Structure 1
Amino acid sequence: MARRKPRDEDAPPTLRDRLAYGILATLLAGLLLLPYRSRVRLGGWLSARVGSPLFRIPALIRQNLTRSLPDLSEHEIGRLVHEVSDNTGRTMVELASGRDFLAQAAKARVTGAGLDAVLAAHAAGRPVILVSGHFGSYDVPRAHLASRGIQVGGIYQPPLNPLIHDRYRRLISVFGSPVFPRGRRGTGGLVKHLKSGGMAGMLVDWHLKQGAELRFFGRPALTALSAAELALKYDCLVVPVYGLRREDGLSFDLVVEDPIPHTTPEAMTQALNDSLEAMVRRHPGQWFWGQRRWKSDDQRLAREAAG
């Protein structure tokens, strides 16, 4: 499927935008009529049985699993394709559930050794960057800290559809604010937030064309250095955090690891990649394998295969 070209941020919504938003809004409205537990489970089922196959995501999940975890059996790959798709759907419904999800995240069991350092930095007015990936339910850290009275801002990838963008921004603002879109405009706001001693959440596992070529699962993966660069420039504490879904599929562990020592942007970001990789290896069904994390390397392999 051809990717839509980026457009001006201020461009009005097109007919296609309005139709897509109408379908999405209707689906979410129906799901939100259900009790929280039922809607999250149904969101996972719909993603695994309908949404993921419709957009041909299982093939990409299989490709990424095969190249990154080559010892998996065909049975294990099939099981993980289902788990990944189910987790993705659950996460999307959770993000749309606002206060219901906030209440669920508030009950997360905190594990790891890093929470005391985060709270101490916040109390001292030192900026903090919480770094995660598309793993588990990735807004659990912000939502849990919001329940403790700590606002954690965020930087996010804006949807191309401006109507969906506006709604998405409102939804994630429930879990912490302010929130900033990726890009020059958002980065400026994020810098001001950090300079004032604020706390922000970022995801490290986007493919970034202008990123540094680091390693993830032993493969080259273009990765943004921005979290580490901001940390070095503004003396931010950098802490890997994860919203780990528990076996019941509804509750969570909030994993807060030790802060990343300040060294160089490349070394710090590789440490973040390594932290995420270790978490994914322990819980492979909870990472969003249906993304093009290794896009440049996949293109290289395709060229080599073509001769």
Structure 2
Amino acid sequence: MSKKRDTAWYRWRGRLRLAAARAALAIFGRLPLPAAQRLGSWLGKLAWMARGSMRQTVEGNLALCLPETGQAQRETIARQTLIETGKGLIETASAWHASRSDIEAMVRGMNGFEAIEQALAAGRGAILLAPHIGNWELGGLATGARVPTTIMYRPPREPAMERLLIEARARFGASMAPANLGGVRKALRALKRGELVAVLPDQAPRYGEGVMAPFFGQSALTMTLIRTLAQRTGAAAFTGWAERLPDARGFAIHYAPVTEPIDHEDPVEAAAALNREVERVVREKPSQYQWTYRRFQRQASGRGRRD
């Protein structure tokens, strides 16, 4: 196949995927929250019964990260993790399709948000560490609707999908910054203007852009971006996550000041501090964390681990 035809095929494939994604959003995005969560729960139970790679990844990560829990307890957490993952998948369509008033109706509290508002009012700027736990899409939308926010993101492999992601996350006024040099500059400018910058801190960076640091006792490739932002601006730092409440009652968003030295002079110490902050959040509701992510397979050398 020629390079020209190959490029054309990938372009058409991207368009088809984008159309399919928009159709899925239109269908699932109109489901009320109880129905969306029931459907997601069924998907998670199917994934559990299928005993496929997703379940294996979750069970492997829990064995590595929560060895202090017994086998039976880890199995309970693993099964619930897949159920919560299924809910999160369908909820993403709901969150990306919902109006601002719909998002407001689903949020049952924003505990600790006043500290972020105070930091911004003082002109300091603030960094929000939002791990992959609970409903981070809804949390980002609810936060960005209240204060000037720049959301950093990793562009998806399919370029056509990037447009959909930006449209969904930025529609309440947030600004989007890709995790590249231009995006870092944009985030720095936002912080220096006294605004909020939100980052997913537990996403493995590209090779050469991170360091190995302990995460739940395991060596994990960890970003140094947050250390850079904190050092260059002196911005206040917070964690934030949207807890999924039982019985489809909505979400409670929790914010807390960062207490670990994420701006440490030593990049490895700063990365370890960042991971400890993420661990603290995860331990609050481990079944709602994205244990499906194969984080420990990525190494600073660019090679996968062999164990």
Task: Please give the range of the TM-score, normalised by the shorter of the 2 chains.
Answer: 0.7 to 0.9
**CA-CA distance at 1:75 after TM superposition:** 4.0
Deviation track 1:245-291 (CA, whole Å, cap 9, x = no partner) reads: 22234522222112345543544442331122122223211110111
**CA-CA distance at 1:90 after TM superposition:** 2.7
Stretch of structure 1 that moved more, 195-204 or 172-181? 172-181
**CA-CA distance at 1:64 after TM superposition:** 0.9
Rounded Cα–Cα distance in structure 2 between residues aligned with 1:12 and 1:180: 28
Contact 2:155 2:162 in 1 (8 A): yes
**What count of residue pairs does the alignment treat as equivalent?**
289
- Partner residue in 1 for 2:126: 128
Rounded Cα–Cα distance in structure 2 between residues aligned with 1:55 and 1:22: 28
- Partner residue in 2 for 1:241: 240
**CA-CA distance at 1:74 after TM superposition:** 4.5
**CA-CA distance at 1:160 after TM superposition:** 1.5
Which of these residues, 199, 202, 214, is aligned with residue 199 of structure 2? 202
| CA pair 225-289 structure 1, distance change in 2 beyond 3 A | same
Normalised to the residue count of structure 1, the TM-score between the two structures is 0.81
Rounded Cα–Cα distance in structure 2 between residues aligned with 1:52 and 1:187: 42
Q: How does 1:115-264 map to 2 (within 5 A)?
A: 115-147=113-145, 149-208=146-205, 209-210=207-208, 211-260=210-259, 263-264=264-265
Rounded Cα–Cα distance in structure 2 between residues aligned with 1:97 and 1:266: 40
Which of these residues, 71, 83, 88, is aligned with residue 91 of structure 1? 88
Find the residue that maps to 1:81 and give its secondary structure. Answer: helix
Contact 2:34 2:248 in 1 (8 A): no
Stretch of structure 1 that moved more, 293-302 or 203-212? 293-302
Find the residue that maps to 2:162 and give its secondary structure. Answer: helix
Rounded Cα–Cα distance in structure 2 between residues aligned with 1:151 and 1:45: 37
Which of these residues, 249, 271, 274, is aligned with residue 272 of structure 1? 274
Normalised to the residue count of structure 2, the TM-score between the two structures is 0.81
- Partner residue in 2 for 1:65: 62
Contact 2:296 2:305 in 1 (8 A): no
Rounded Cα–Cα distance in structure 2 between residues aligned with 1:52 and 1:232: 47
Question: Which amino acid letter does the alignment assign opposite residue 220 of structure 2?
Answer: A
**CA-CA distance at 1:29 after TM superposition:** 2.2
- Partner residue in 2 for 1:3: none
Stretch of structure 1 that moved more, 64-73 or 211-220? 64-73
What are structure 1's unaligned runs of at least 5 residues?
1-9, 303-307
Question: Which amino acid letter does the alignment assign opposite residue 231 of structure 2?
Answer: L
**CA-CA distance at 1:46 after TM superposition:** 2.9
Rounded Cα–Cα distance in structure 2 between residues aligned with 1:11 and 1:160: 16
Matched, 1:110 2:110: yes
Question: Which amino acid letter does the alignment assign opposite residue 280 of structure 2?
Answer: A
Deviation track 1:23-63 (CA, whole Å, cap 9, x = no partner) reads: 33333322134334322432343355269959731111111
Rounded Cα–Cα distance in structure 1 between residues aligned with 2:174 and 2:46: 34
Deviation track 1:103-156 (CA, whole Å, cap 9, x = no partner) reads: 245x33233xx5343211111222111012111112344333345x31322011
Find the residue that maps to 1:248 and give its secondary structure. Answer: helix
| CA pair 267-250 structure 1, distance change in 2 beyond 3 A | farther
Rounded Cα–Cα distance in structure 2 between residues aligned with 1:69 and 1:50: 21
Rounded Cα–Cα distance in structure 2 between residues aligned with 1:53 and 1:200: 39
